[in-house]
Amino acid sequence: MFEHLSVSAVYVVDKTAIKMKSTIQVLITALFFITSQTACSQQVKKMKLNPLTPAEQAVILHKSTERPFTGEYENNWTKGTYVCKQCDAPLYRSESKFDAHCGWPSFDDEIKGAVKRVPDADGQRTEIICTNCGAHLGHVFLNEGFTAKNTRYCVNSISMKFIPDKVMNTANKNEEVAFFASGCFWGTQYYLMKAPGVISTTVGYMGGHTKNPTYKEVCTGETGHVETTEVVFDKTKTTYEDLVKLYYETHDFTQVGGQGPDIGSQYQSVIFYTSPLQKEIAEKYVGILTAKGYKVATILRPAPEFWKAEDYHQAYYEKKNGTPYCHIYRKIF
């Protein structure tokens, strides 16, 4: 076909073929990139993600920053694991957390492979995102000298959830732990320990800023703790929902700053939730009670460390063969 073409004509044909080959290679590369990006995007869409509030969306999706010294976990020193708010992937261990006095939770290490570093849009800082789902976490800073690892992951509390070790390490998968505060813990324990499916109950203190407080210290109202009952229950015999119902049916959840004659912050009505599901159920019943016309004063908080109370407080009414003075059962649900 080409035997009658001149040398210059053959050169032009060869040059055109080379250009076409180069163009095809570029198109194939671009197609591969688009396909891989689409696949990655589809994988994130297929991933089961937790619903986010507008405030959570602002930080996790749109990369805003929560105000310093306002985050839920800035002063949390309980042992446990911090997980991604959007996908529940484990991110940091409590052992890596330190106080950088910056107003946000700080960690000097991540759970291996859990956090990805990317250049920030400002061109100066390094952003950190969840490797699993891409949620915005905050920024990482190096060589500041805070710890031996010379690394500070500065993370927005709102981008995370915290799961205490005791909850994560429940030996029997059929067992679950719950924490309820409804005034004097003698009365709270009295009803919860008798509920079907409850394995054990322990009274103690939660939510304060001092370690291992005594009853005398908590009674001053200055430690920030709340008298709380820890409940371990068998999920094959009862449900967290049943316990929440009983909790509300055995105290005045409309009273603010105390319970009955016991007045003070240590006697507040509080549910300390240990998982997103527990929080969801607690919120559900706040909604149900509100719809019934009650003004619910119960505070919902993530579970911090639980400090067991002195032995003489445990199963108090059983030892005394008595009944609560400020907890009375009344059917609501």
- List active site positions: 154, 184
* Residue 213: both structure tokens together: 């407080």
Cβ neighbours, 10 Å, residue 253 = 22
In angstroms, rounded to a whole number, what is the distance separating the alpha carbons of residues 242 and 298? 17
Residue owning tokens 């969306």:
57
Alpha-carbon distances of 46 from 14, 43, 117, 120, rounded to whole Å: 47, 5, 23, 26
Q: What is the 3-state secondary structure (H, E, C) of 164-219?
A: EHHHHCCCCCCEEEEEEEECCHHHHHHHHCCCCCEEEEEEEEECCCCCCCCHHHHH
Cβ neighbours, 10 Å, residue 212 = 10
Question: Are the beta carbons of 92 and 153 closer than 8 angstroms?
Answer: yes
Query: What is the distance of C-alpha 173 from the center of its chain?
Result: 20
CA–CA–CA angle 215, 216, 219 (5° rounding) = 85
